[in-house]
């Protein structure tokens, strides 16, 4: 496709992004170099200096990254067998997909209420655990990294499963038929299906990573205030009306996440 | 596949589906609770919270608004996202990787800041008020990455031989796209659009800042209520959405006929 | 002072009917077309309460509210974003948000001439808002912040703030996280009961560090703290006292400790560049009327700000009494507004960990 045609096709997207995304981005960038207090103070890098010299913030950044990566990885590992099973058993595709995607329908606060009660000391999960392993203390899910991971894993699953399903579904069935006659089912998966669905896998991974890293409600609520990621810190700064630092944190987060997005994108494009 | 292999598969799928559904089951149980507050297990069974829901005009209005905004945002996202995905996949553009990363970046910036910055732009610079249009535009920006992602992944995985064949047979680009490419990527694009719709429908942060005065979206209404009371009305509202969604899935199954032709099984 | 209450709902029908009768006794205000007033306010019970009062408001003043829902800090952020074009003509916010707004020049002061009802507001509640040119806020209600606790789970009677530090409560307490008024009040209360004050917070910081092992949850959303309390994961919650009354059937007790209580006076503020002043002041004055104050108190579950006499039926359902006004901690809300960023940072590092 010619470059001109390409730019023409990009036009609607640019028309949308320019006023509605680029402008806020510029405003956020500009806010990040303002002094805290009033909108008329001069430009300063104080917010950035504070962030980059603070052990607390750098730890939080690593924590945010770590959370995103581990959630994305775990989700991909969990979702892949599921998607493959559904491709092989198409009768169940719609019902199972509907069940896996159902969490998306529920308001985040309600969902977290569900988790709070499910994972509470006197809740069903701890009841089952104490029945299986009697004599122990209830596991403290809430207020811990474990609880946050479970809740995030839960809500990211639909994205990854659907991305994978879409990719695997696009595989030419005749290719799979041919492979089935030649190899055992396991090998079909590893040598044929997986490589062919790599773009979808990478898409799902990227989406899960992005959304998990950007999540602020789940860590704030399930984490009991103790699991501070960059998005939760940004929100707290906004509440304290410290918009310059909130903006600076956001810019730092963007700077850290963009390269990763670019890197995964390259994997995605290098399809067989 | 061996017999045990098949059973392991089934148990695994059941476990994952169960994991997905478990907090929702709790919410459904809570919605039938007889107490004034959220407690599990509830001490009694009652339909009063559903009753309260039916009498709640505010909630119905915010639901309607959410659906309208999400649908409009999805449509705009499609019109912007599908051509963009095509361009990023096929055209010889400089810095493709960077452009693709930028296409994802609306999801990388915290929504609260995007919302606040847009509000500042609208109020202080444009000197106008937030409206339905500005709300939809902001939501569309969030839907856009989903569509680009899903469409892009589908385009990468396309079997280009079919397109080449069609081209050698004389089909010109527009026809090629409409009759060959588009149907091939349609399932992925539909999935992206569905996600975008749901993402917009569930969105709190942007709607909190950009909803026009007097009009709130459903998740904002529910969120605000939840911050002040822990009664099961939230559970009833959430449960209703679950029923609606699963109902839609059942209808889909009924009307879409048999599933995609099965590949060779075991 | 320990208070144990029956549930609110058993008393509701009788009092509502009485109040509705009282409201309907007033003559109507005839107007051709309603004036719309753009109001930023928090949601939940406040929104419901405003909806209930809407017909009366329209009939008596001709005003129709166009509400935008959000917490005080969200409203404040929007005021800042709006600059000279704020998106509201009136706002309902908490004290420290109001004072921060005034300090940053987002709000204009109001005088008794403009809102005559101000003369009837309790002096104790008006004092925090006194400023050059009048008052920053028209206080419409207040809430007491104290200790909610499970009578069946805590092995002793909680009467004092110092009880929070007892080892029996290890990992059983929930406290509101910073940067909120609740979190700030926790810090200040800790300072006061450990020999300090708002101007000398070091004892408070020390006390909060000592309290760390007892704190299980730093809650962001109030309803989460209540759900935890009802589920028994936490036994104690430092929270708005009125929120504990509906939970009485689960053995939740609302205690105003002997040393005193924190409080949150809230009301109506007026954006500096907001228009529609006449309607805004009329609305504020309406909210200070005796009958409206009582209806507001009952619907929104808050204490009235004026000197109106609270009937026994309503008083049963409110923790706050007029007598309690003399037991409020000495809080400097402006100081909270100005320092909350610094406190929040320090809180995150030293208290939350």
User: What are the start-end ranges of the E strands in C103-161?
Assistant: 130-131, 134-135, 137-150
Is C240 within a domain? yes
Could you please report the per-residue DSSP string of A22-43?
IHHHHHHHHHHTBPSS-TTS-B
Q: What would the pLDDT profile of C73-114 be if each residue is shown by its tens digit? A: 999 999 999 989 999 999 999 999 999 999 889 999 999 999
Determine the pLDDT at residue A39.
53
Higher pLDDT, B261 or C331: C331
Q: Which of C93, C220, C273, C339 to substitute to test the interface with A, most A CBs within 10 Å?
A: C220
Question: Considering CB atoms only, which of B213, B220, B225 is closest to C66?
Answer: B213
Considering the domain architecture, whether residues C25 and C35 belong to the same structural domain is answered as yes
The answer to whether the pTM exceeds 0.90 is no
- Tell me: pLDDT of C24 over 70: no
Determine the pLDDT at residue A41.
63
Mean pLDDT of the region C218-245? 92
Whole-number Å distance between alpha carbons of A146 and C91: 40
Considering the domain architecture, whether residues C138 and C151 belong to the same structural domain is answered as no
Mean pLDDT of the region B200-218? 89
Q: Which residues span the domain enclosing C91?
A: 8-142+265-322
Considering the domain architecture, whether residues C312 and C338 belong to the same structural domain is answered as no
Determine the pLDDT at residue C1.
42
Considering the domain architecture, whether residues C228 and C347 belong to the same structural domain is answered as yes
Q: What would the pLDDT profile of C132-182 be if each residue is shown by its tens digit? A: 889 999 999 999 999 999 999 999 999 999 999 999 999 999 999 988 999
C221 and B224 within 8 Å at the Cβ level: the answer is no
C220 and A220 within 8 Å at the Cβ level: the answer is yes
Whole-number Å distance between alpha carbons of B197 and A153: 21
- Tell me: pLDDT of B257 over 70: no
- Tell me: pLDDT of B126 over 70: yes
Considering the domain architecture, whether residues C108 and C162 belong to the same structural domain is answered as no
- Given pLDDT bands bounded at 50, 70 and 90, which one contains residue A36? low
C44 and B224 within 8 Å at the Cβ level: the answer is yes
- Given pLDDT bands bounded at 50, 70 and 90, which one contains residue A22? very high
B116 and C77 within 8 Å at the Cβ level: the answer is yes
Q: How many domains are contained in chain C?
A: 2
Considering the domain architecture, whether residues C160 and C136 belong to the same structural domain is answered as no
Closest CA–CA distance from residue A78 to any residue of chain B (Å):
8
Is C54 within a domain? yes
Helix (H, G, I), strand (E, B) or coil at A54: coil
Contact (CB, 8 A) for C160 and C258: yes
All structural domains of chain A with their residue ranges: 54-269
Is C1 within a domain? no
Instruction: Mark which residues 173-232 of A lie under 8 Å from B by CB.
Output: 173, 176-177, 180, 185, 196-197, 199-200, 202-203, 206-207, 210-211, 213-214, 216-217, 231
Q: What would the pLDDT profile of B31-77 be if each residue is shown by its tens digit? A: 999 888 888 888 889 999 999 888 888 888 889 999 999 999 999 99
Residue-averaged pLDDT of chain A: 86
Q: What would the pLDDT profile of A88-144 be if each residue is shown by its tens digit? A: 888 888 889 889 988 988 888 889 889 999 998 888 988 888 888 877 778 888 888
Q: Which of A239, A243, A248, A249 to substitute to test the interface with C, most C CBs within 10 Å?
A: A239
Which of A197-201, C1-5, C205-209, C214-218 shows the lowest mean pLDDT across its residues? Answer: C1-5
Q: Are strands C173-176 and C236-240 parallel, antiparallel or unpaired?
A: parallel
Which chain C residues are Cβ-neighbours of A113 within 8 angstroms?
A: 223-224, 227
Considering the domain architecture, whether residues C211 and C344 belong to the same structural domain is answered as yes
Instruction: Report the candidate in C177, C225, C42, C297 with the shortest Cα–Cα distance to residue B225.
Output: C42
- Tell me: pLDDT of C5 over 50: no
- Given pLDDT bands bounded at 50, 70 and 90, which one contains residue C6? very low
- Given pLDDT bands bounded at 50, 70 and 90, which one contains residue A266? low
Q: Which chain C residue has its CA at the smallest distance from A56's CA?
A: C349
Considering the domain architecture, whether residues C343 and C315 belong to the same structural domain is answered as no
Considering the domain architecture, whether residues C135 and C221 belong to the same structural domain is answered as no
Is C22 within a domain? yes
Q: Which residues, 6 or more positions from B77, have their beta carbon under 8 angstroms from its beta carbon?
A: B140, B143, B144, B146, B147, B193, B196
Q: Which of A39, A224, A230, A243 to substitute to test the interface with C, most C CBs within 10 Å?
A: A224
- Domain A54-269 grouped into CATH 1.10.3720.10: yes
Q: What would the pLDDT profile of B13-34 be if each residue is shown by its tens digit? A: 999 999 999 999 999 999 999 8
A143 CB within 8 Å of a chain C CB: yes
- Any bridge partners for residue C141, and if so which? C266, C304
Q: Which helix (H) or strand (E) holds A95?
A: helix A93-101
ipTM: 0.86
- Given pLDDT bands bounded at 50, 70 and 90, which one contains residue B1? low
Q: Which residues, 6 or more positions from B180, have their beta carbon under 8 angstroms from its beta carbon?
A: B162, B163, B166, B171
Question: Considering CB atoms only, which of A90, A158, A246 is closest to B262?
Answer: A90
Which class does domain B58-228 fall in? Answer: mainly alpha
């Amino acid at each position: 496709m010619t470059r001109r045609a390409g730019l023409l096709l990009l036009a609607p997207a640019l028309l949308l992004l320019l006023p509605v995304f680029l402008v806020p981005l510029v405003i956020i960038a500009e806010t990040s170099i303002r002094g805290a207090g009033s909108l008329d103070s001069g430009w300063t890098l104080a917010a950035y200096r504070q962030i980059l010299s603070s052990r607390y913030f750098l730890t939080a950044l690593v924590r945010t990254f770590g959370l995103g990566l581990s959630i994305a990885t775990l989700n991909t590992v969990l979702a892949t067998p599921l998607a493959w099973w559904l491709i092989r058993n198409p009768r169940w595709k719609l019902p199972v997909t509907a069940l896996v995607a159902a969490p998306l329908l529920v308001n985040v606060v309600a969902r977290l209420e569900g988790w709070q009660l499910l994972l509470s000391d006197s809740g069903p999960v701890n009841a089952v655990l104490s029945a299986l392993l009697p004599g122990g203390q209830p596991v403290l899910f809430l207020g811990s990294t474990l609880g946050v991971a479970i809740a995030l894993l839960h809500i990211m699953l639909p994205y990854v499963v659907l991305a994978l399903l879409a990719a695997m579904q696009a595989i030419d069935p005749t290719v799979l038929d041919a492979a089935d006659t030649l190899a055992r089912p396991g090998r079909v998966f590893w040598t044929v299906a997986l490589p062919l669905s790599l773009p979808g896998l990478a898409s799902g991974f990227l989406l899960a990573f992005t959304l998990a890293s950007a999540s602020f409600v789940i860590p704030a609520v399930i984490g009991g205030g103790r699991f501070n990621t960059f998005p939760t810190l940004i929100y707290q700064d906004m509440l304290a009306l410290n918009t310059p630092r909130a903006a600076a944190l956001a810019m730092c987060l963007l700077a850290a996440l963009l390269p990763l997005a670019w890197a995964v994108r390259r994997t995605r494009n290098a399809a067989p | 596949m061996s017999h045990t292999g098949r059973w392991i598969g089934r148990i695994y799928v059941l476990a994952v589906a169960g994991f997905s559904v478990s907090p929702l089951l709790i919410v459904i149980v809570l919605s039938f609770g007889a107490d004034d507050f959220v407690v599990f297990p509830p001490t009694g069974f009652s339909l009063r919270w559903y009753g309260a829901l039916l009498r709640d005009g505010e909630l119905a209005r915010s639901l309607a608004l959410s659906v309208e905004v999400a649908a409009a945002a999805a449509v705009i996202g499609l019109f912007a996202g599908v051509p963009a995905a095509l361009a990023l996949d096929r055209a010889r553009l400089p810095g493709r990787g960077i452009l693709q990363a930028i296409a994802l970046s609306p999801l990388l910036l915290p929504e609260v800041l995007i919302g606040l910055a847009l509000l500042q732009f609208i109020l202080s610079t444009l000197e106008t008020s937030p409206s339905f249009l500005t709300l939809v535009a902001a939501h569309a920006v969030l839907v856009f990455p989903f569509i680009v992602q899903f469409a892009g992944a589908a385009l990468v995985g396309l079997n280009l031989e079919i397109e080449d064949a069609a081209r050698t047979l004389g089909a010109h680009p527009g026809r090629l796209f409409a009759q060959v490419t588009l149907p091939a990527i349609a399932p992925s694009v539909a999935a992206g659009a569905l996600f975008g719709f749901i993402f917009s429908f569930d969105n709190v942060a942007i709607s909190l800042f950009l909803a026009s005065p007097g009009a709130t979206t459903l998740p904002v209404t529910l969120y605000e209520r939840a911050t002040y009371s822990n009664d099961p009305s939230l559970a009833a509202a959430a449960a209703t959405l679950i029923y609606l969604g699963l109902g839609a899935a059942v209808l889909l199954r009924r009307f879409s006929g048999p599933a995609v032709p099965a590949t060779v099984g075991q | 002072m320990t208070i144990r209450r029956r549930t609110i709902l058993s008393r509701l029908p009788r009092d509502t009917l009485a109040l509705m009768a009282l409201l309907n006794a007033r003559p109507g205000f005839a107007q051709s077309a309603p004036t719309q007033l753009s109001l930023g306010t928090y949601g939940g019970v406040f929104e419901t309460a405003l909806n209930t009062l809407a017909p009366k408001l329209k009939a008596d003043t001709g005003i129709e509210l166009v509400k935008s829902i959000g917490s005080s800090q969200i409203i404040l952020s929007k005021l800042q974003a709006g600059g000279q074009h704020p998106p509201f003509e009136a706002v309902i916010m908490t004290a420290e948000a109001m004072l921060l707004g005034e300090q940053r020049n987002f709000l204009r002061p109001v005088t008794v001439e403009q809102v005559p009802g101000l003369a009837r507001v309790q002096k104790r509640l008006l004092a925090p808002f006194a400023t050059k040119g009048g008052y920053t806020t028209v206080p419409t209600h207040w809430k007491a912040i104290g200790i909610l606790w499970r009578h069946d789970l805590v092995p002793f009677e909680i009467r004092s703030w110092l009880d929070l530090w007892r080892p029996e409560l290890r990992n059983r307490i929930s406290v509101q996280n910073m940067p909120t008024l609740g979190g700030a009040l926790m810090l200040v209360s800790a300072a006061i009961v450990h020999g300090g004050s708002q101007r000398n917070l070091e004892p408070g910081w020390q006390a909060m560090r000592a309290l760390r092992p007892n704190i299980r949850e730093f809650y962001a959303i109030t309803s989460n703290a209540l759900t935890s309390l009802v589920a028994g994961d936490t036994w104690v919650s430092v929270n708005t006292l009125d929120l504990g009354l509906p939970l009485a059937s689960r053995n939740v007790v609302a205690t105003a400790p002997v040393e005193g209580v924190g409080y949150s006076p809230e009301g109506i503020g007026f954006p500096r560049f907001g228009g529609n002043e006449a309607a805004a002041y009329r609305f504020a004055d309406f909210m200070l009327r005796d009958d409206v104050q009582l209806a507001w108190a009952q619907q929104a579950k808050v204490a009235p700000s004026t000197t109106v006499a609270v009937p026994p039926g309503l008083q049963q359902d409110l923790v706050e009494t007029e007598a309690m006004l003399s037991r409020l901690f000495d809080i400097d809300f402006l100081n909270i507004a100005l320092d909350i960023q610094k406190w929040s940072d320090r809180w995150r590092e030293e208290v939350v960990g």
